[in-house]
Structure 1
């Protein structure tokens, strides 16, 4: 596989446009290049003291289409977006995020671009989301009104419901960007 040149040892190689792309391999390469920033040392990985040290954390993208994934990832990379919200029903049988968990953020094409650590998680009703959280999501004009309008549109589309009820339970997650560092 031909790759773009690396700026340093922490930047994983990325295939040139038009080349085949193995997402699993790309995620593993990215994880190997950034796990020190997550304070998971090589000795722990080799010794196998914790499965999470050897296995890459979950990888996912924001939104429900490549354009939205790229837009929201861009906000994370500039430091504007430090939180995300998910309707509780979207988790299904999956566990909710927990403080301290790591995640690899993917761009709209499925390439790993960032490593984040969850710093806070709470479940609230849709009508209990406040201005501070809306601003931390880093979207639109950062207002609560805009947050409510845009998220109601999104969840109607994703969940297939006519409306989002004020009592709809929402999981609010705050995170810190570990890689690449802002500034």
Structure 2
């Protein structure tokens, strides 16, 4: 679990550097779980990763609220240290099979192709769903897509 003071200090630095209007951030979390957290946080920090996808059914099981647009979030590394501050631009729920090449590219992982995205995410979702006692079915499962941009550290235009 991330140290609250470290998170608050990180947000305070970002807020001061950018003169952010937000009073606080919504959440602090790792992307992809501990095994992928460092790699994905690094992609967010450089602005290469501007979207993430999660299993819709897991929100129901874990009784977590869906992400919302218009908020700041802190992305953590494997050791739960803050790496980047993002602003969520858009959130939508869609069938896994409806993810397109644009979202795959925005995810910023691997070759950034749709085929690569589907292979990696199907394997990831199968593990995550199984760990929660349910089965992931790529033909019928829904996913939550979050589109965001990194605001801190400041990302140079690509």
TM-score range, shorter chain: 0.7 to 0.9
**TM-score, length basis structure 2:** 0.87
Tell me which residue corresponds to 1:119: 89
Structure 1 residue 159 displacement after superposition: 1.1
Runs of at least 4 residues off by over 4 Å: none
Mapped to 2, the partners of 1:149 and 1:33 lie a distance apart of: 38
Distance 1:38 1:88, change over 3 A: farther
How large is the Cα RMSD of the aligned pairs? 1.9
* Structure 1 unaligned residues grouped into runs of 5+: 1-20, 41-51
Structure 1 residue 39 displacement after superposition: 2.0
**TM-score, length basis structure 1:** 0.75
Mapped to 2, the partners of 1:132 and 1:162 lie a distance apart of: 27
Choose 1 or 2 for highest CA Rg: 1
Structure 1 residue 78 displacement after superposition: 1.8
Distance 1:162 1:168, change over 3 A: closer
Mapped to 1, the partners of 2:93 and 2:71 lie a distance apart of: 17
Query: Which deviates the most, 81-90 or 28-37?
Result: 28-37
Tell me which residue corresponds to 2:100: 130
Tell me which residue corresponds to 2:78: 108
Structure 1 residue 31 displacement after superposition: 1.5
Task: Spell out the pairing of 1:18-167 with structure 2 (5 A cutoff).
Answer: 23-36=3-16, 37=18, 39-40=20-21, 53=23, 55-65=24-34, 67-92=35-60, 93-160=63-130, 161=134, 163-167=136-140
Residues 106 and 113, structure 1, Cα contact 8 Å, conserved in 2: yes
Q: How many residues are paired up?
A: 150
Distance 1:177 1:133, change over 3 A: same
Structure (1/2) with the larger strand percentage = 2
Structure 1 residue 38 displacement after superposition: 6.5
Greater RCO (CA < 8 Å, at least 6 residues apart): 2
Aligned: 1:171 with 2:144: yes
